[in-house]
Amino acid sequence: MSFDPLALQFLLIWSVFLAGSGVILFLIGRLKKRNLVSRILAWFPIIVSIFLSIHLGKWVFFVFILAVFAASHWELSRLVQNIGILHHVIALGLALPWLILIQFHEISIWALPSILFFLCPFLYLALFMKQKHWRQIFPFALMLGAGFSLWILLGRSGGFRLVIFVFSVTALNDMTAFFFGTVFGGRRPFPRLSPNKTLAGYLGGILSAVLAAHVFRFAVPELNAVSVTLAGIVLAIAGSLGDLLASKIKRIHNVKDFSSMMGAMGGVFDRCDSLLPSAWIASIFFLYFL
């Protein structure tokens, strides 16, 4: 059985990185008495799932995105009080058309800035609404539907190469920010919103994202070195912003993780929170540069 060369290259690079990181974190964890390896091991099924969905084509990738959306929607809906079946039906009615429309119809990427502007009030409602908490599920659903639909759009662009690039840069920023923050500690720029995030983590994440952007440059050969560096910085900032917004949601509802579905890594949305704003930024970024 022959594999898609782009998907295979993606899998090989990630396998080398995760294996090497596991060894390093095992040694550091023994020295600092922290179990860091479990967070690395949890990435293996994620990478394999993305590899298979990319290799098997757009319909398998669509099903994969639907599954991730469903898990994220379930996790967020658990936070909201006093919701019934009708509320879930309305929420899914707001979210699913985004996914289906982009999968079945050609949507101009030029519409994305307008769509993003349209969603901003709903983001505000999700983060700051104090009364009738069940209404929060509606802006949650809108954000999830629109955000995950952009991954379908990225998947249709250039045979998943943009998915490979954006996911890899954003995920590596997330992983290395946790690593640098845990190992080096230091100043915490958002002590009330996200007390575990440190300045060392953010800076380490940005540097790692830039490095990752150059490692995965094979997926976007149209970009020169300066554009690739800029892409790494922009995606790192977008991913960090998504993580902070998710921390705000968790703080409102007084939970540490969205669920325990992924063990030490928390819930599915704990891993996707940085990927949704990255998809928005990447779509606009590649609209300009490509």
Would you list the domain boundaries of the chain? Answer: 5-289
pLDDT (tens digit per residue) in 27-69:
665 545 455 667 777 788 888 889 888 888 889 999 999 999 9
Angle at CA 94, nearest 5°, toward 64 and 96? 25
- Cα–Cα separations (whole angstroms), residue 183 to 37, 54, 161, 174, 179: 13, 34, 33, 14, 6
Q: Average pLDDT in the 129-149 region? A: 73
For residue 264, pLDDT over 90 is answered with no
Highest mean pLDDT, choosing among 47-51, 245-249, 286-290:
47-51
pLDDT (tens digit per residue) in 4-13:
788 888 989 9
Give the per-residue pLDDT at 33. Answer: 44
Based on the number of CB atoms within 10 Å of its own CB, is 4 exposed (0-12), middle (13-18) or buried (19 or more)?
middle
For residue 24, pLDDT over 80 is answered with no
Q: What is the mean pLDDT of the chain?
A: 81
> Which one, of 238, 244, 154, lies nearest residue 195 by Cα?
244
Give the per-residue pLDDT at 147. Answer: 86
pTM of structure: 0.87
For residue 196, pLDDT over 90 is answered with no
Q: Which residues are CB-contacts of 289 (< 8 A; sequence separation ≥ 6)?
A: 222, 223, 227, 231
